[in-house]
């Protein structure tokens, strides 16, 4: 009965958020508080699922992560300077609150203030990854930068946890370095398990056993083990498929994570008031992110969207605070205040992130003046020269389209994609491909097409990306034919309604293409009796 009620309230709260055009995770957070008021307390099942959800989340982040992105100045520089600035800013604010004798603050000791300021400096990895995945923008420049910053922050948290608990890695920790030469073994396993249920079980094994449990045994936080394990597999061609296979499991377990926040820490009016005040300070936190990203020569839009992804408080802040409470460094009532601050910050961040492009366009006149003239190489204008065919999205479909168009328009075809590794591979194979994000509104402002442009092929894997690109092409009055791919009939109708000249439904037409290929390769040289009879009739008719 308890489980049935939990599922019912969780669904209804999530559905209510959906009807209000908010991410369901806001409903799940609310469900946790509702369940607490209904008499539910911490549930071992929910907490276990929440822990698994965060572990799987970090594993799938690792599967998609290029470790080189962590060492870029806009990532490590922004993460380090922002954490230092947050420590100073929130410490000063909390001391001012103590001076004003606000609830929960009057008895705070100085070291407690520093701990709270440190916890408030983190941004949520769970929220950012979920929001970026929902918009299919994990590979966009701002998404990669935001995830890199979050991972650097997570490393800061791990260092704190190790130092505060006195739990240092064991003498066996250096043996983890042998995971690197074992990569060929893991790759072979990925090659041999296929794409069914065995691939899912292998993902759980690598994330929870080889990654999380192995690191835990040598005194290192298990979540970091899952992240590292994912990063070791990231360069394998099957890593993306494994991430997709684990997607549904990760999603349902993250529902438990959001529920656990509301169930674990009973709210009070004092905690609610402090949480609201802390969330009011998010404006300063977000602005600092944006200014730092622009300082490191990212465009105003990239910086704004990156800041929008990071504009909240973090579950890692709750973990840091929980350790501090356990050690007696922080009053226990602050856990409820921080839990509510995290929840409210998600509610504030979700609609901002969802409508970030609209907000950016409204702020554009101001933000453009703050943008530096010399930009990051990935954020510079896109020149197409005299190219006549442009292909947006250089996955397998884009590759095939490129090779065919190259036969008809030699050296006048160019591909555009967001994935730098994919671009490097395409260039090595002799294709002309450049980096660009067609879901980025500034991409279209940076794009300089030639007057000779004849055709644009929208071959991105996600429908919303092709739809957005089509709208921008029509808005910009590009004098070219537009063709797009889709997977479902309703998507095809919408693309045609938006002005696509041709739409290719992958599911409907793949079978026809397969049959035509088989006929041309295997049967075209044979003549059936019916064919001979028809041929004879044609001859008699002509005679």
- 100 and 181 share a domain? yes
- 299 and 444 share a domain? no
> First and final CA of the chain: distance in angstroms?
84
Q: pLDDT value at position 535? A: 42
Q: pLDDT value at position 164? A: 64
Full-prediction pTM beyond 0.95?
Answer: no
Segments of the chain scoring below 70 in pLDDT = 1, 23, 66, 136, 139, 158, 161-168, 265-266, 440-442, 445, 477, 509-510, 513, 517, 524-543
- 89 and 117 share a domain? yes
- Other beta carbons within 10 angstroms of residue 223's beta carbon come to 26
Residue 227 lies in a domain: yes
Residue 161 lies in a domain: yes
CA pair distance 101, 339, nearest whole angstrom? 21
- 107 and 231 share a domain? yes
Residue 208 lies in a domain: yes
Q: Which of 311, 343, 370 is the last residue of a domain?
A: 370
- 141 and 167 share a domain? yes
Residues 389, 412: contact at Cβ < 8 Å?
A: yes
- 424 and 364 share a domain? no
- 408 and 351 share a domain? no
Q: pLDDT value at position 167? A: 63
Question: Which structural domain range is residue 365 located in?
Answer: 46-370
Residue 117 lies in a domain: yes
Q: pLDDT value at position 543? A: 30
Number of domains within the chain: 2
Residue 416 lies in a domain: yes
Q: pLDDT value at position 542? A: 34
Which residues in 432-501 belong to E strands, given as ranges? 433-435, 447-448, 455-458, 481-486
CA pair distance 294, 534, nearest whole angstrom? 72
pLDDT digits (tens, 9 = 90+) for 168-194: 678 888 888 888 899 899 999 888 887
Record the tokens describing residue 344, joined without a space: 């409210």
Q: pLDDT value at position 221? A: 76
Residue 18 lies in a domain: no
- 173 and 274 share a domain? yes
DSSP bridge partners of 181: none
- The CATH number of the domain holding residue 455 is 3.40.50.720
DSSP bridge partners of 486: 505
- The CATH number of the domain holding residue 50 is 1.20.1530.20
Residue 211 lies in a domain: yes
Q: Running DSSP on this structure, what letter comes out for residue 168?
A: P
Record the tokens describing residue 334, joined without a space: 């602050």
Residue 12 lies in a domain: no
- 323 and 391 share a domain? no
List helix spans (H) across 135-205: 141-165, 183-192, 197-204
């Amino acid at each position: 009965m308890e489980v049935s009620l939990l599922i019912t309230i969780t669904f209804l709260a999530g559905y209510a958020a959906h009807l209000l055009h908010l991410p369901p995770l806001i409903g799940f957070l609310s469900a946790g508080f509702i369940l607490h008021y209904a008499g539910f307390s911490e549930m071992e099942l929910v907490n276990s699922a929440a822990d698994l959800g965060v572990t799987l989340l970090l594993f799938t982040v690792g599967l998609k992560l290029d470790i080189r992105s962590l060492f870029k100045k806009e990532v490590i520089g922004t993460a380090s300077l922002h954490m230092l600035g947050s420590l100073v800013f929130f410490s000063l604010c909390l001391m001012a609150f103590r001076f004003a004798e606000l609830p929960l603050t009057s008895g705070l000791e100085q070291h407690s203030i520093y701990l709270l300021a440190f916890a408030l400096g983190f941004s949520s990895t769970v929220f950012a990854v979920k929001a970026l995945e929902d918009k299919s923008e994990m590979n966009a420049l701002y998404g990669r930068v935001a995830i890199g910053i979050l991972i650097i922050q997570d490393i800061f948290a791990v260092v704190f946890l190790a130092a505060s608990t006195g739990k240092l890695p064991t003498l066996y920790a250096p043996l983890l370095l042998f995971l690197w030469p074992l990569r060929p073994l893991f790759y072979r396993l990925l090659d041999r398990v296929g794409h069914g249920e065995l691939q899912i079980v292998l993902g759980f094994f690598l994330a929870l056993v080889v990654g999380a449990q192995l690191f835990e045994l040598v005194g290192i936080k298990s979540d970091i083990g899952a992240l590292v394990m994912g990063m070791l597999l990231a360069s394998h061609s099957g890593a993306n498929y494994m991430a997709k296979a684990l997607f549904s499991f990760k999603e349902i377990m993250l529902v438990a994570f959001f529920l656990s926040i509301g169930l674990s820490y009973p709210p009070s009016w004092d905690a609610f008031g402090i949480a609201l005040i802390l969330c009011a300070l998010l404006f300063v936190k977000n602005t600092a992110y944006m200014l730092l990203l622009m300082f490191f020569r990212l465009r105003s839009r990239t910086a704004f969207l990156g800041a929008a992804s990071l504009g909240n408080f973090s579950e890692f802040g709750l973990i840091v605070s929980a350790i501090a409470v356990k050690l007696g460094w922080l009053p226990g009532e602050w856990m409820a205040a921080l839990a509510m601050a995290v929840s409210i910050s998600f509610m504030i961040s979700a609609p901002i992130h969802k409508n970030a492009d609209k907000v950016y366009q409204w702020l554009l006149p101001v933000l453009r003046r703050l943008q530096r003239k010399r930009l990051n190489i990935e954020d510079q204008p896109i020149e197409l020269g005299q190219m006549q065919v442009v292909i947006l999205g250089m996955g397998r479909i884009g590759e095939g389209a490129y090779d065919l168009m190259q036969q008809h328009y030699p050296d006048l075809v160019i591909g555009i994609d967001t994935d730098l590794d994919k671009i490097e591979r395409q260039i090595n194979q002799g294709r002309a491909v450049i980096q660009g994000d067609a879901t980025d509104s500034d991409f279209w402002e940076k794009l300089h097409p030639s007057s000779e442009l004849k055709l644009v092929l929208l071959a991105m894997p996600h429908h919303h990306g092709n739809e957005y690109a089509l709208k921008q092409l029509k808005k910009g009055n590009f004098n070219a034919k537009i063709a797009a791919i889709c997977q479902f009939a309703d998507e095809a109708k919408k693309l045609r309604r938006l002005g696509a000249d041709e739409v290719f439904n992958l599911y409907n037409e793949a079978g026809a293409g397969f049959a035509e290929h088989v006929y041309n390769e295997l049967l075209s040289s044979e003549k059936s009796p019916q064919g001979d009879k028809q041929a004879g009739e044609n001859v008699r008719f002509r005679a």
